[in-house]
Amino acid sequence: MTQERFLERRQASWDKIEGIVNGSAKNIRNNAAWFPRAFRELTQDLNTARAHAFDPVIIERLNRLVLEGNQLLYGQHSWSVKGLVDFILRTFPQSIRTHWKGIAAVHLIFYGIMLFTGFLCVRFPEMVYEIMGERQAWNMEQMYDPESDHFLEPRDVSGDADMFGFYIYNNISIAFRSFAGGIIAGVGSLIILAFNAVFLGAAAGHIINSGFAETFFGFIIGHSSFELTAIVLSAFGGLQLGYRLFITQGLTRAASMRRAGKTVIPIISGSAIMLVIAAVIEAFWSSQHQFPMALRLGAGIAGWVLLFLYFILAGRGKSHD
């Protein structure tokens, strides 16, 4: 089948599907009987376009429509156990792969700033005091000093639970600010992302200079894959929101924001789940100092590898992807 013939036969259906997913509730109700069959045909169209290596613009459009159509069809079940499992195993990783270029760019910005700041603070130790006050820097030292009281005194289960609540609040607040900053044309999300990267880089550089690198990296390696990735995804969501608020691509502003919501909601929801996982690991594993460093580093590296494989492989082999 040629690309021209493919477009001639199927484009009208895609246009109608796009009108439904971007339309009003009344428009959706009026097409309730037609849409499920059309959606199945749409997933077949996506597979056909990929198999024939058609124009990437066509494939990108079909992939977006599949994601948006899937949310329209199955979104009402999202709070059931089955819906949650389906979201984790399919919808979330598919959303990440659909927007992988933008997400990769935000990752590069975040880690580039963080590593550069860390290098500068290791090379020029006094620089850390331009980023955080002396008292805050001293508190950071105490936090990772293996001779400090909180390292020497064991913490019971209730203490772990208390810290879990604190970590949840802290993680969610950082991610929310990263996302909400997007309303300022996306600039706010970038500023908050850069601030977090600078602070984390400075903290790491200062702890390394203080001689506590082993305890520092032994603590953060366990949960950092989930926490840092979720923060970056939240910033990406904010950037998408800000972009669609001002660059409507011919849609009304309301329709543009609805489309942005369909892109952003799965990513933000997934990042929230990741932050909960990070808080669990941070409270009940990362803070347990009795485990040997080799085990902690190995578990942390495994977490990064498994998360990377999850984003690459999860949800494949389905007609929706």
| 66 lies in the same domain as 106 | no
Residues 6+ apart with CB under 8 A from 184: 242
Whether residue 146 has pLDDT greater than 50: yes
Rounded Cα gap, residues 87 and 81, in angstroms: 10
Query: How many folded domains does the chain comprise?
Result: 2
Strand ranges (DSSP E) for 88-220? none
Please check whether residue 14 lies inside any domain of the structure: yes
User: In this structure, is residue 318 part of a structural domain?
Assistant: no
pLDDT digits (tens, 9 = 90+) for 272-317: 899 889 988 887 887 777 788 889 899 999 999 999 999 999 988 6
164 has a pLDDT exceeding 90: no
pTM: 0.71
**Judgement on whether residues 272 and 169 belong to the same structural domain of the protein:** yes
Domain end point (choices 43, 77, 111): 77
* Whole-number average pLDDT of the chain: 81
The phi, psi pair for 141, rounded to 5°, reads -60, -45
Model pLDDT for residues 233-259, shown as the tens digit of each residue? 989 988 888 777 777 777 777 777 777
173 and 62, same domain (yes or no): no
Identify whether the C-beta of residue 91 lies closer than 8 Å to the C-beta of residue 315. Answer: yes
Shared-domain flag, residues 243 and 278: yes
User: Does residue 145 belong to any structural domain of this protein?
Assistant: yes
Percent of the chain at pLDDT > 90 equals 26
194: in domain: yes
291 and 217 assigned to the same domain: yes
pLDDT higher than 80, residue 76: no
Single out the residue in 77, 111, 142 at which a domain terminates.
77
The answer to whether residue 172 is domain-embedded is yes
Q: Which of 192, 206, 195 is nearest to 127 (CA)?
A: 206
91 in any annotated domain: no
Contact 255, 197 (CB under 8 A): no
**Are 304 and 267 found together in one domain?**
yes
For 149, the domain range is 98-313
Residue type, 268: I
Look at 82-86, 185-189, 196-200, 236-240 and tell me which has the smallest mean pLDDT. 185-189
Burial 117-130 (b: 16+ CB within 10 A, else e): bbebbbeeeeebee
